[in-house]
A and B are shown apart, each in its own frame.
Chain A
Amino acid sequence: MDIFLQLLVSGFAVGGVYALIALGFVLIYKATSIINFATGEFMMIGAYFFYSFMVYLGLPAIPAFIGVMACAALLGFMVERLVLRHMLGQPTISIVMVTIGLSSILMGIAEMIWGSEFRSFPAIVPRAPIIIGEIVVRSNLFYGFVLAVLVVIIFALLFKYAKVGIAMRATAADQSASFSMGINVKAMFTLSWGFGAVAATLGGIIIGNIGGVHPALGHIGLKIFPVVILGGLDSIGGAVLAGFIMGIIENLAGGYLDPYFHGGVKDVAPFVVLVLILLVKPYGLFGKQEIERL
Chain B
Amino acid sequence: MRTGDFKDSYLADEAVFKTPTVRFWMGILFAALLIFPFLAGNYWLYMANLVGVAIVAAVGLNILTGFAGQISLGHAAFVGIGAYTAAILTTRLGVPFLLCLPLSGLSAAIFGLIVGGPSMRMKGLYLCIATLAAQVIFEFIFVHWESMTGGIRGINLPTPSVLGFSLDNEFKFYFVTLAVVVICVTAARNIFRSRVGRAFIAIRDRDISAELMGISLLRYKMYAFGISSFMAGVAGCLWVNFLRTVTPEHFPLMESIRYLAMIIVGGLGSVLGAIFGAIFMTLMPEILKNTLGLLVDAFPQAMGYLFPLQQVVFGLLIVMFLVFEPHGLAEMWRRLKDYFRLWPFEY
Query: Does more than half of chain B's interface fall in helix, strand or loop, or is it mixed?
Result: helix
Complex Cα distance, B122 from A284, in Å, reads: 12
Contacts of B257 in A (CB 8 A): 100-101, 104
Contacts of A111 in B (CB 8 A): 307-308, 311
Contacts of B73 in A (CB 8 A): 100
- Smallest Cβ distance from A69 to chain B, in angstroms? 25
9-residue interface stretch from A70-78, A126-134, A156-164, A271-279: A271-279
**Contact pattern, B 123-159, Cβ under 8 Å of A = 1, otherwise 0:** 1111011101100110010011000000000000000
Complex Cα distance, B124 from A226, in Å, reads: 16
Whether the Cβ atoms of B130 and A101 lie closer than 8 Å is no
Give the bracket for the number of chain B residues in contact with chain A.
35 or more
A91 at interface by CB-CB < 8 Å: yes
Complex Cα distance, B118 from A106, in Å, reads: 32
B260 contact from A100, A116, A279, Cβ within 8 A:
A100
Whether the Cβ atoms of A101 and B136 lie closer than 8 Å is no
Whether the Cβ atoms of A282 and B118 lie closer than 8 Å is yes
Number of A residues with CB within 8 Å of any CB on chain B? 49
Whether the Cβ atoms of B323 and A98 lie closer than 8 Å is yes
Kindly identify, within residues 59 to 106 of chain A, every residue whose CB is under 8 Å from any CB belonging to chain B: 83, 86-87, 90-94, 96-98, 100-106
- Smallest Cβ distance from B273 to chain A, in angstroms? 14
Contacts of A294 in B (CB 8 A): 208-209, 212
Whether the Cβ atoms of B125 and A96 lie closer than 8 Å is yes
Contacts of B316 in A (CB 8 A): 101, 105
Whether the Cβ atoms of B133 and A275 lie closer than 8 Å is yes
Answer whether A282 and B119 are a contact pair too, CB < 8 Å, given A98-B322, A102-B315. yes
Whether the Cβ atoms of A83 and B323 lie closer than 8 Å is yes
Chain A residues near B (Cβ < 8 Å): 35, 83, 86-87, 90-94, 96-98, 100-112, 116, 215, 219, 222, 225-226, 229, 233, 261-262, 264, 267-268, 271-272, 274-275, 278-279, 282-283, 290, 292, 294
15 additional A-B pairs beyond A100-B73, A292-B208, beta carbons within 8 Å, are A35-B125, A83-B319, A86-B323, A90-B326, A101-B257, A101-B314, A101-B319, A102-B315, A107-B315, A222-B132, A272-B133, A272-B137, A275-B130, A275-B133, A294-B209
